[in-house]
Structure 1
Amino acid sequence: MAAQLQWVIRIVLGVFAVVVLTACSDATGVDQYGRKVPVERIEGQWLVINYWAEWCAPCRTEIPQLNALDKELAGKGVSVLGVNFDNLQGAELEKVSEALGITFTVLASDPAERYKLPRSEALPVTYIIDDSGRTRERLLGEQTAEGIKTKLAQLKAEG
């Protein structure tokens, strides 16, 4: 009887561990609304990661371009992601994102370490990461949707 109980306990603990580990690997943090960002949005995708700040005038001008780019490239293997330069979190990040009209995903956690992105002292700055997670381009200054699409096409053609 004791052996059976130990066996059942081991199975239950094993199943629990798998569930916990799976739940942890299903997301890469949260967005500006506190929603989990699924791993599929990040891994195996080309990423356009834009650093912005509320006080940055060129950032404000660029946001509609990034919104349009995100909408156009949705479902095409490219994700547009934002990162607040001032590391705003929670309700403050949500409030500022909404005030600026940001519709693309803003990551609450900075992915700089994951992709070995250098901290830029100038804004806006946009990084293009390929589908294998390698940083391919650093674009300093205000960008347009067309300019980023052209750069993506060029980088994809280079392989």
Structure 2
Amino acid sequence: MFLYVFVGMLSLSIGVAYQIYSQTDFSTLEGKSYTFKELQGKWLVINYFAEWCAPCLREIPELNEFHHTMQEQGDVVLFGVSYDAIQDHELSLLAEKYDIQFPLINELDTAMPFDPPKYLPATYLIRPDGTLAGQLLGEQSQQSLLEAIQAK
């Protein structure tokens, strides 16, 4: 009897631990999963865009450049979010068509630490401690994003 209880408790403990450690807040089109907690210590830049938004499309080359520069430094991470609810296949086609080189969030398991934008393009800055630093409205450049992070 003791053995059954022990095995049952062990199985329950393993199941709970697996559930806790396997939870994610969001995943990207590339198949990577993230938690906000694991990204603490870095600036998060989250850019909302849509194909029908001309300024959104104009800023993509600047966001690509920002992404590559920040990848080298390692202290800032950029993610894109489609404002329109589209399937992964459509998001993939959009990324290819407009040469989006930064990770695109395709699945959100936990609410973002801010309300969705009312206007586009919109970019949110989240401090390394996980708090919202602010929202930038309008077309951004690599320089404007660097300046905004330095000012916060």
Range class of TM-score, shorter chain? 0.7 to 0.9
Are 1:37 and 2:36 an aligned pair?
no
Give the structure-1-normalised TM-score.
0.83
Q: Deviations over 1:65-120 (max 9, x none)?
A: 11111111115321111110112232111221221111111112469943123522
Q: 124, 128, 132: which is aligned to 1:135? A: 132
Aligned to 2:14: 15
Name structure 1 gaps, 5 residues minimum: none
Using the TM superposition, give the Cα deviation of residue 126 of structure 1 relative to its aligned residue in structure 2, in angstroms.
1.0
How many residues align? The count is 150
Quote the offset at 1:28 in angstroms. Answer: 2.2
TM-score by length of 2: 0.86
Taking the aligned partners of 1:12 and 1:109, their CA distance within structure 2 comes to: 30
Structure 2: runs of 5+ lacking an equivalent: none
Deviation at 1:9, TM superposition (A): 2.0
Q: Report % sequence identity.
A: 29
Q: Distance in 1 between matches of 2:128 and 2:135?
A: 16
If asked which structure has higher relative contact order (CA below 8 Å, sep 6+), I would say 2
Q: Who is 1:89 aligned against?
A: 87
Amino acid aligned to 1:38: Y
Q: How does 1:110-129 map to 2 (within 5 A)?
A: 113-120=111-118, 122-129=119-126
Q: Which residue of 2 aligns with 1:54?
A: 51
